[in-house]
Amino acid sequence: MSDKSVSYWSDTRQGLRAVELRAAGFEPSEAVNTNAVVTIANAYTNAHRCNNRVRRIADLLVDAVASKGGQGLLVGAPAVSDALTQGTVNAGYSLASRDLMADCMETGHYAHHGNGMIVVSGCDKTGAAALMPLARTNAFGLVVYPGTSSPGRVDFEPWASKGNNLTIMDYMEGSAAREAGRISDDELTSLQRCVMPGSGTCGAMFTANTMSTIAEAIGMMLPRGASHPADYDAGSDIHDDVKNQALASVEALYRLMEMGIRPRDIMVREAFENAVTTAYAMGGSTNLYLHVLAIAREADVPFTIEDMQRIGERVPLIANLQPHGAYAMVSLHQVGGVPVVMKALLEAGLLYGDVMTVTGKTLAENLAEVPLPENLPEQDVVFPVARPLAAPGNHISVLSGSLAPESCLLKLSGKTLEDGEFRGKAKVFDSEQAAMAAIREGGVIAGDVIVVRHVGPVGAPGMPEMVHLTIQLQGRGLGKDVALITDGRFSGVSHGILVGHICPEGAKGGPIGAVRDGDTIVINPKTRRLDLDITPDELAARMAQLGTPVLSDVAKGSVLGKYRRLVSSAHYGCVL
């Protein structure tokens, strides 16, 4: 190209930029002096309490970037609340939205020529999606969490003794308890009115707070950013701790740009191990397996499901948070947040202290002044590693066996199986709805193993959460006596004897499709096996008779149609 042509195209581009800037309400002469274009990636919606404060935070970030001489540009993405989709025909959109959000954020960042990126997360898939484009683009950046919901209280048992620590889990289990005649209409109404006084994500160690913990523990969020409340009540402004985190995050971004520290300098293998260790110590959701594997792939860090098992099996449970414990996430925030947990783990030699973080300091430097749990004023939210709530190996375990030749996840959440295994008779269902009807009609009794199949990433499609089934079991007093296994997944709210993520899934010809009513199923956490108690020859004969699974009817060009066509197994994180 000639010099004249180069000059023409350069002049034309400059002129077009001026036209575009003026038309969008910017002054071209001021834009010339901008020191950085910062993508403010956010999944805002007014549709639900999980992400309804995100736009307020995004606007605050834009103003804070401007005060530093930069230009913040808003980039949107869809936000899906599991609370609105669980148990419905649209539940598959939740997991599918994770990769869609990451794609939206990447697209907006590059299309608007961003130099850095601050991602405002929120409901659980947003938490994973927040880290994926940062790892993918390696743009200077970090994550801001809009906050968790403040807890509530009531004056009747079994909830009064929890104090100000009630969360959405308590209402859901109360609803099932009312259906079973275990509490009154007035008590359920009181729970409904009191359990969640404001906005924010689900209030304990469910998936949203698991993923905020992952972001902080991996080093991509400022300390204490994972646990703050979203607001004071539904009518208030965002919480002061959220405002302070947002403003501090802009300062941190500029410091990262000055120091040349990018996400892949932070999201190294040791940082992923720190994140998994911290999530296990706090009783995190099984969904962390799907999301951490997906984030690691974006960061080009080799990380497998067996790596996560190896890391997690050595970690005791030390945070007393719902669903396995008594407290809401805000109670953890009040005693110091995730750094208190991490300090205990670091002192016990369970974390790598020399990894870099978005503060521009190492993890050990960030934690230097943080007290150990035993040195705090009297509290029972975080326990010392030497005196844990549960010993290692009693939270999430990766199992395999004749029913899960690739893998599956057992969630015990600190509880134990006293005789070392659960052995029960199968009640088989090809949908969540059919299983729900059986539970409500009294068709599930102590000693049963509920089998829900064809609800995996391909089968559903979208791998919906079986949370309403687990809530029914807990609300009816069957949580310790009935197991549930599925090729779907679980909400962080779920607790009991639960096996999910069975791979291969039924829709891909997995042996879960060969289970029949009355079969004996054996769950053994010690040997890490999930088995159908029939001979190998009988299983082979059944598998030969399976044929092609009948899948739900989904339009080929739809989001779920594309997802079904492209998604990998849960064994690999359901990546596309």
CB proximity list for 543: less than 8 A, separation 6 or greater: 509, 511, 514
Which residue, among 243, 41, 284, has the nearest Cα to 147 in the 3D structure? 243
- Name the DSSP class of 389: S
Alpha-carbon span 114 to 87, nearest angstrom: 39
User: 124-137 and 287-298 are packed helices; what angle lies between their axes, rounded to 10 degrees?
Assistant: 20
Q: How far apart are CA 498 and CA 333, in angstroms?
A: 29
User: In which residue are the tokens 């064809």 written?
Assistant: 454
Residue 182, token pair as written in the block: 């275990």
Cβ atoms within 10 Å, residue 442: 9
In DSSP terms, which residues pair with 75 in a beta bridge?
41
Cα torsion angle, 340, 342, 345, 347, sign? negative
Query: What is the distance of C-alpha 210 from the center of its chain?
Result: 5
Nearest residue to 475 (alpha-carbon basis) of 493, 501, 492? 493
Contact 504, 572 (CB under 8 A): no
CA 182 vs CA 62, 158, 440: distances in Å? 50, 11, 14
| 8 A C-beta contact, residue 28 and residue 15 | no
Residue 71, token pair as written in the block:
């230009």
Asked if 329 and 205 count as a contact pair (C-beta separation under 8 A), the reply is: yes
| Helix (H) / strand (E) containing 144 | strand 140-144
Q: Which of 94, 397, 407, 491 is catalytic?
A: 491
∠ CA 126-127-132, rounded to 5°: 90
Residues 6+ apart with CB under 8 A from 246: 57, 60, 61, 64, 144
Instruction: Report how far residue 289's alpha carbon sits from residue 226's, in angstroms, rounded to the nearest whole number.
Output: 18
Q: Are 108 and 189 in contact (CB under 8 A)?
A: no
290, 451, 512, 533, 546 from 516: Cα distances, Å: 28, 9, 9, 11, 12
Q: Which residues contact 25 (CB under 8 A, 6 or more apart)?
A: none
Contact partners, residue 262, CB within 8 Å, separation at least 6: 138, 139, 140, 256
Please tell me whether residue 228 adopts helix, strand or coil conformation: coil
Strands (DSSP E) found in 430-478: 448-452
What whole-number distance in Å separates Cα of residue 407 and Cα of residue 371?
A: 39
The partner residues of 426 in beta bridges, in order of sequence, read: 449
**CA distance linking residue 476 with residue 155, whole number of Å:** 21
- 3-state secondary structure (DSSP) of residue 518: coil
- In the annotation, is 491 catalytic? yes
* Residues taking part in catalysis: 491
